[in-house]
Amino acid sequence: MRKAQRDFYFAKLRDIKILCQRPELENVPMAMRIKKLLYDVDEKEYALAEAQEIVSQSTNVEEIEFSDDYD
């Protein structure tokens, strides 16, 4: 993998991590699952399946308002 490509994906994952740590999103089930996927060292696929289930159930989740300045 090229360094530029690696850096690009690392920056994306960092942005997702920062977004999930925002106080208004920190305890939202989907954000919690995303953090679990980011930090889980277990290579089992159940974390992904669990996250996909949450996403499929989240169609009725209330929208959360937050600003775009999460850097």
Q: CA angle 17-18-21, nearest 5°?
A: 90
Percent of the chain with pLDDT over 90: 31
Q: Which residue in 39, 45, 44 sits closest to 16, CA to CA?
A: 39
Whole-angstrom Cα distance, residue 65 to residue 44? 33
Tell me what the pLDDT averaged over the chain comes to. Answer: 78
Where does the pLDDT of residue 2 fall: very low under 50, low under 70, confident under 90, or very high at 90 and above?
Answer: very high
Give me the mean pLDDT over the 5-21 stretch: 93
22-48: pLDDT as tens digits: 999 888 888 888 888 888 776 666 767
